[in-house]
Structure 1
């Protein structure tokens, strides 16, 4: 029996040199050098390579992120995608093994009322596809790529979740800091209105001055109500992001904010390729590469070895007892005419591979742009912070001076009101600028593919 299969086995061995299986490598014509300008650095240490606990040291924020990672529904769905991809990969690996089937048949027959004759067939059937042209190996490699793709998707979801929680957390922190400023300003205006009413009775102020002060006081009170509403909305949004019912969320202060000094972006291509979306784009290209190989291997013959082994009493006669049955089968199938289907599938696979390559290069360009923009923004907001701090300090001196002059009759109430209004605006702008700097910092971390445990 084995001798009869030797020609087919010999042909399979000889054809192995014709395999169309090749491992994926990044295309040579994919230009990625010098795409990111002055981002290049000799130091490959990067913000994106740090674990998220090092990037966000605030313990209250860390607790929220941990709860989000545990409860978030999109992250759980991403894990299920990994499970599905791993199951598909396992099936692709098992395709290299022979398949076994156990099929028992039996019958009873009687002619003209004679005694029934029993017949039976108890075989174990085996078949094995010889992967001469790499069809199964291409399918297995594509399965590996799809597993990595699903893992990259999960990393992208995790990174986005961590950065979204951090962003909303600091939005909540800044809103509460601004609310404190407004409440302090409200107390100042309340005291000013009281003092001006007293002074109006002695002559220095008229009703117009007091009314203007009262209008400013009521305006601040209205802003406090608006900020309290915004804080509640931020708490609600953050609760949903954490996968929890809406509830009040405890937060720290801006004093606990600490960014990583001297943020390094490292070697552009090395770091940007760590971004989950860029990794997904290249993995899609790799999957398309193996799909093209599969489509090309469909033009070559497929070789299948099979056989049966079992007991039967239906070979040559229908009498008992049963006999041992051994059967070997070898087949070689060469596609000849498939109505253009194989050529069409290969053309489609090549087009999809080229599309994936274009998308990969564009993802690198987009990633480089995002990192550059966010890095520039963070530097800009850092510079502006010094100017806002100087502005607040100057307005504090202005308020003290105008108040002193007003109390001594050398200045009018409008100067004091204007100084107080400018002071409120400057303090709120200062806090907003800090939030913008934090946002840019978080955006850089996300753009560099951060979010690892």
Structure 2
């Protein structure tokens, strides 16, 4: 109360505050005008076919659970755990919090610094010092006071620092979204790879069972003298080779399951996923025009915000060429004796201002400005490189999806031909026209083509996930616009040549679920 009434009663203090306020209001900024760096954007994606749905994305818009377009509830449950338990995501969250605290730190420069303290000491001046009235005496001192200092932001140094810190915080937030997108995409890729292994595992398990049954029948025929030992040896070789492939699937699946456990933040020893060999069709992916890619990719947004932060550092470097104004004031009580310490005569105060500018520093400020400018140029290059990489990733996966659709159709024709060859060879073996080696060869070709078809389907799913990642994830509700989704599905997944029982979307034949009818026919034939 005393300090406040004193402050308003002092004309000098009022004039100083008025001058400071006027200077603060009239403060100018040395921050260069900022514009997002220009990047040449193509008018359309080279790998896109007509009919793609045009989205309306923005980096600030919520992306939502993009993985739900695959329609897999197990994947949905796993993805929900990434944002909660993944340690890489947690680290990114901590980095965002750290960047935001730096914004508060820089913003504190707008306000004065006020300190308060109390002290008590005793001092003695040498008795041999001449010209001092207290020579040879011990003097106690009691003091308590408040001091304040404030540097008005005349040339925008603090504002530029705040702008740079805010841009860095925005970049960290975009980095967090990029990490989330990357982790969720990695999880989806690993999950669909595991599903593909389950499909191949089921195929190999059925094959091992069929081959083992055939071997038992051939061994019985060998005992009866109906065949020679070469057929049994060939069947044994085929069975053990297939069993080896079946065991190798177990090793790869275990490693993939451990990778998924790490992504969801769970120890590998306590995590397990039950096998699921059902087929998953590639989804319809809503895609926008190329220029919108600059808005939906979080890593591009982060790179652009770092350009803005570097631009703010140029403003800070410019502000160093101008003088600094420092306003200070202090007031308190001081007395040699404690008794009259709280009385009015013990009051002391001071108020003043100081204008300081650097006249010569050997080129230090110029070097700092040149360094800030070079850093800005570097961030612009990083931003443009991020855009180029983003377009490369989109085009790579568009090309992969288009090529894999053709490859899947071709492979299904090859698989159908291998199945027909197996049936014909089996019939010829039953008629005694060929040896059992021909049957084994036909069975091996049929099994290889079945596995290749499943591997292509897995690659299509992986490319779909990577395309979504390259596009920055999707927040568009596919179900809300079935017409656009149907068009997109036809453009991405469907290809000509849907004959011979081929599903153009799933790329799988509807002839038989497990692809084992030919193997069963061989087993039955071997027993006749």
Q: TM-score, normalised by structure 2?
A: 0.76
Q: Sort the Cα spacing of 1:14 and 1:391 in 2 relative to 1 into closer, same or farther, 3 A.
A: closer
Q: Which has the higher contact order (CA 8 A, sep 6+)?
A: 1
Equivalenced residues, count: 445
Whole-Å separation in 2 of the counterparts to 1:293 and 1:54: 45
* Aligned partners of 2:47 and 2:399 also within 8 Å: no
Corresponding residue SS for 1:299: coil
Map 1:409-448 onto structure 2 (within 5 A).
409-448=432-471
Report the Cα offset of residue 120 of structure 1: 3.7
**For 1:19, which of 23, 29, 34 is the aligned residue?**
29
CA distance in structure 2 between the aligned counterparts of 1:208 and 1:385, rounded to whole angstroms:
37
Secondary structure of residue in 2 paired with 1:77: helix
Q: In the alignment, which of 375, 381, 401 is matched to residue 352 of structure 1?
A: 375
Residues 1:147 and 2:169 are matched in the alignment:
yes
Q: 1:246 to 1:434 in 2, by over 3 A?
A: same
Cα drift, residue 398 of structure 1: 2.3
Q: CA deviation at 1:287?
A: 1.1
Deviations 1:228-260 (A, max 9, x none): 122222222222333222245224635462443
SS of match in other structure, 2:434: coil
Which of 238-247 and 82-91 deviates more? Answer: 238-247
CA contact (8 A) 1:92 1:143 kept: yes
Residue in 1 aligned with 2:246?
A: 224
The DSSP-based 3-state class of the residue aligned with 2:266 is coil
Residue of structure 1 aligned with 2:41, choices 33, 36, 42: 33
Shift of 1:277: 2.0
TM-fit CA distance, 1:276: 2.5
Structure 2 segments unaligned to the other structure (5+ residues): 1-11, 125-133, 477-528
Check conservation: 1:39, 1:267, Cα contact below 8 A.
no
Q: TM-score, normalised by structure 1?
A: 0.88
**Contact between 1:311 and 1:324, CA under 8 Å: does it hold in 2?**
yes
**Is 2:322 the partner of 1:290?**
no
CA 1:219–1:178: 2 relative to 1, 3 Å: same
Determine whether 1:163 maps to 2:173.
Answer: no
CA contact (8 A) 1:8 1:330 kept: no
Q: Which runs of 4+ in 1 moved over 6 A?
A: 39-42
Deviations 1:299-333 (A, max 9, x none): 0111122212333458xxx9975344443211111
- Residue in 1 that maps onto 2:82: 68
Q: Give the deviation of 1:441 after TM superposition.
A: 0.7
Q: Is the 8 Å Cα contact of residues 31 and 311 (structure 2) preserved in structure 1? A: no
- Give the CA deviation at 1:5: 2.9
1:168-219 deviation line (CA, Å, top 9, x unaligned): 1111111121111111111222233233344446666322233122211111
What is aligned with 2:510? none
**Counterpart for residue 399 of structure 2:** 376
Runs (5+) with no aligned partner, structure 1: none
